[in-house]
């Protein structure tokens, strides 16, 4: 549905338009001159895609996690069902790409680089490269595991959660470990600056350690956009949601958007609110995606019906300026 939900008109009158008004207020790549968007939360829209495969409608337990935009095309991971949804952000027509990935993979973050989709497999602590240049949705798209040189991460339930690429010819990639540590010593999220080579990712800078207030917090959903490294910062179980910008030198966070009220409210409308995906389209609009189910090891090929629907939300930009 391409218009704001009517019942939000009253709810969102109390929500202020959250803005970042100047380049100097957040850490950015010095080679760009770009002001971040001013996002109008009161214009937030629920989006429902139309897909030819009925197993991948939003009322299924898709466990959507990663999301990235290429122009006005969205790529969304179905975490445990080896699928990548390719969605036209304007028409909301969706096709389902079947991926040949290792058994019991958990596909979290996704980014695009040089015609390939790079996906985090949290279960195996791996990054997979999938050729998506083909326009066909028929057949399986093979995945190649990229070696990780210079870092050690373990597979499991709390692991590689986000990835984003800088598409400027530098082959830079940022890889996110959502959380490590314990309550007695404290917890951190870690962002690894990497560089893509033909068959591996190698460390290309000092890891960025982001101190968390407690071990219920985490970072997820990295997104490089016009010189800034965005992430979602969330607190379990659904008590806080923030969009932050990560300083790529110090790891310090700048909160640029508070989403707690609106994302706690969507449950009343039947949507899942465990938001794990974030991306930004060329018009400056912020897109959010929720993981709508909690499951263990999956052997089925397609997801069952879920209690909550997968949230795909668009928050429009009131304005933004960028000098390319």
Tell me how far apart the 2 most distant CA atoms of the chain are, in Å: 52
Cα 74-222-245 angle, rounded to 5 deg: 120
Task: Give the tens place of pLDDT for each residue, 181-233.
Answer: 999 999 999 999 999 998 999 999 999 999 999 999 999 999 999 999 999 99
Alpha helices in 35-105 (DSSP H): none
Could you report the per-residue pLDDT of 72-115, keeping only the tens digit for each? 999 999 999 999 999 999 999 999 999 999 999 999 999 999 98
pTM for this structure? 0.89
Dihedral of the alpha carbons of 132, 137, 139, 141, in degrees to the nearest 10: 20
Element (H, E) at 263: helix 260-265
| Model pLDDT, residue 18 | 37
Per residue in 297-312, pLDDT (tens digit) is: 999 999 999 999 999 9
For the stretch 259-272, pLDDT in tens is: 999 999 999 999 99
Contact indicator for 76, 313 with CB cutoff of 8 Å: no
Phi first, then psi, for residue 207 (nearest 5°) are -55, 145
47: phi then psi, degrees, rounded to nearest 5: -120, 135
CA distance 140 to 97: 7
Other residues' Cβ atoms within 10 Å of the Cβ of residue 125? 17
Q: For residue 179, give the nearest of 243, 234, 225, 230 by alpha carbon.
A: 234
pLDDT of residue 27 exceeding 60: no
Report how far residue 146's alpha carbon sits from residue 196's, in angstroms, rounded to the nearest whole number. 9
Name the pLDDT band for 26 (thresholds 50, 70, 90).
low
**C-alpha to C-alpha distance for 241 and 11, rounded to whole angstroms:** 18
Is omega for the bond preceding 237 within 30 degrees of 0, making it cis? yes
60 has a pLDDT exceeding 90: yes
pLDDT of the residue at 29: 54
Alpha carbon 237 to its chain centroid, in Å, reads 18
pLDDT at residue number 6? 44
The domains found in the chain, sorted by start residue, are 20-323 (2.120.10)
Instruction: Evaluate if residue 323 carries a pLDDT over 60.
Output: no
């Amino acid at each position: 549905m391409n218009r704001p939900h009517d019942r939000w008109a009253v709810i969102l009158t109390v929500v202020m338009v959250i803005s970042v008004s100047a380049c100097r207020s957040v850490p950015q790549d010095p080679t760009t001159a770009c002001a971040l968007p001013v996002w109008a939360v009161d214009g937030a829209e629920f989006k429902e895609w139309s897909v030819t495969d009925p197993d991948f409608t939003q009322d299924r337990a898709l466990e959507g996690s990663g999301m990235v935009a290429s122009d006005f095309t969205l790529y969304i991971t179905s975490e445990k069902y080896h699928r990548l949804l390719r969605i036209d952000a304007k028409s909301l027509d969706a096709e389902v790409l079947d991926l040949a990935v290792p058994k019991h993979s958990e596909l979290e973050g996704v980014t695009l680089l040089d015609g390939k989709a790079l996906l985090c497999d949290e279960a195996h602590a791996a990054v997979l490269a999938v050729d998506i240049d083909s326009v066909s949705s028929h057949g399986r798209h093979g995945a190649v595991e990229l070696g990780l040189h210079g870092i050690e991460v373990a597979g499991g339930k709390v692991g590689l959660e986000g990835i984003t690429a800088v598409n400027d010819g530098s082959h830079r990639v940022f890889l996110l470990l959502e959380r490590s540590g314990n309550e007695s010593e404290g917890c951190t999220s870690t962002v690894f600056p990497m560089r893509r080579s033909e068959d591996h990712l190698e460390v290309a800078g000092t890891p960025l350690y982001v101190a968390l207030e407690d071990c219920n917090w985490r970072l997820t959903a990295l997104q490089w956009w016009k010189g800034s490294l965005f992430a979602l910062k969330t607190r379990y179980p659904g008590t806080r949601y923030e969009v932050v910008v990560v300083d790529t030198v110090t790891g310090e966070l700048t909160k640029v958007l508070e989403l707690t009220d609106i994302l706690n409210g969507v449950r009343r409308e039947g949507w899942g609110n465990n938001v794990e995906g974030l991306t930004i389209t060329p018009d400056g609009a912020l897109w959010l995606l929720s993981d709508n189910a909690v499951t263990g090891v999956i052997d089925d090929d397609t997801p069952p019906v879920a209690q909550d629907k997968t949230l795909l939300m668009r928050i429009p930009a009131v304005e933004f300026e960028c000098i390319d």
